[in-house]
Amino acid sequence: MTTLLNLIHSLLLTGVGEREQAESYLAQSRDIYELERRMHHLAHSGQAAW
C-alpha cells in the first residue's frame, strides 16, 4: 500500500514543476501581446499546465 501511495504522490508532484515552469515563462512577457503569444504557444504545444 505504501508503494501505491508513493506513486500517486510522485505523480501529483510532477505537475507542480511543469506548472511553475509555465508560470515563469509567462511572467517573462514584456507586454500583453507577448503574454498572449506565449499562452498560445503553451496551449498548442501540449505544455499547458492549467
**Predicted local distance difference test score (pLDDT) of residue 18:** 80
**Predicted local distance difference test score (pLDDT) of residue 32:** 92
What distance in Å separates the CA atoms of residue 2 and residue 40, rounded to the nearest whole number? Answer: 40
**Predicted local distance difference test score (pLDDT) of residue 42:** 87
**Which are the contacts of 13, defined by CB distance < 8 A and separation ≥ 6?**
none
**Predicted local distance difference test score (pLDDT) of residue 31:** 94
pLDDT along the chain (50 residues), means of 10: 69 69 91 93 73
**Predicted local distance difference test score (pLDDT) of residue 27:** 94
